[in-house]
Amino acid sequence: ETLINLVSKMSQNYDMVFANRFSAQSKIKSYPKKKLFANRLCNFVIKFLFNFKSQDITNAVKVYKTNILKNLILDSQGFEIFAEIPLKLFKQGFRNFTEITIDHDAGDEKYSKFDIFREGPRYFKIILKCFFQN
């Protein structure tokens, strides 16, 4: 259902469409407090540095126009790719995006491959790299 909604929004001539877990209408289940704090901090830093008006830029659920991805050079090694792609595109002038509301169930933390102590520094490194690149 989410994928159908994302693609439907893309047909309205957007460059990028992001799923948003943190809109007022979203329902979030089982999100660990440390991870939530880190997520909100990361999204705040991105908003502040780039003036990027997304509420949930770190979310993995996104769609892009194929042609804007073709010449993108990526540096990510992990989950930070979900911030790197939209930030690099945004800096290239692709600012026509929107978000759709989704509900999010973080599931059981013991099965998560996301390690905040490994991934957190990677996120901030890629954010700074994107900020200082031309």
Question: pLDDT of 69-104, one tens digit each?
Answer: 999 999 998 999 999 999 999 999 999 999 999 998
pLDDT-derived band at 109, boundaries 50, 70, 90: low
How many Å apart are CA 62 and CA 59, to the nearest integer? 7
**By the 8 A CB rule, do 100 and 24 touch?**
no
Cβ contact 78:115 at 8 Å:
no
Q: What's the whole-number average pLDDT of the chain?
A: 91
Q: What is the pTM of this model?
A: 0.89
pLDDT band (50, 70, 90) for residue 35: confident
